[in-house]
Amino acid sequence: MLTLNKVHHIAILCSDYQKSKTFYTEVLGLTIIREIYREERQSYKLDLALNGIYVVELFSFPNPPKRPSRPEAVGLRHLAFEVINLEETIAFLDTKNVESEPIRIDETTEKRFTFIADPDELPIEFYER
């Protein structure tokens, strides 16, 4: 039987490395564990942590093709983060000029959530605890 322990990390390819690095560190508040430039691939690799735990790898490659996010496409749908207070989260995002969708309520859990998009239009969800 296969036994999975947890999600180890999520890898994200970006079209503009500096813009995405700023978004994930200064807007979302992830902290940098390690940043390397791989000359042979002309690629950056940025390891990011949430609350001290490694969660995201951010990659850059020369001229990567766009991956459709909308309309809905097969594959990874979105990245979701749990937050304590959705209004405070949205207010902070407003100060960073990041537009959020109207708050919705999960019909199953009755919890509130909203979505934003990263610089490459990857949907990011904030789900209230």
Domain-by-domain residue ranges, the chain? 1-63, 77-129
Burial of 47 (0-12, 13-18, 19+ CB in 10 A): middle
pLDDT in tens, 65-109: 887 777 777 777 899 999 999 999 999 999 999 999 999 999 999
Q: Which fold has domain 77-129?
A: 2,3-Dihydroxybiphenyl 1,2-Dioxygenase; domain 1 (3.10.180)
Residues 32-49: pLDDT tens digits? Answer: 999 999 999 999 999 999
What is the Cα–Cα distance from 34 to 47, expressed in whole angstroms?
A: 5
Q: Collapsing DSSP states into helix, strand and coil, what is residue 95?
A: helix
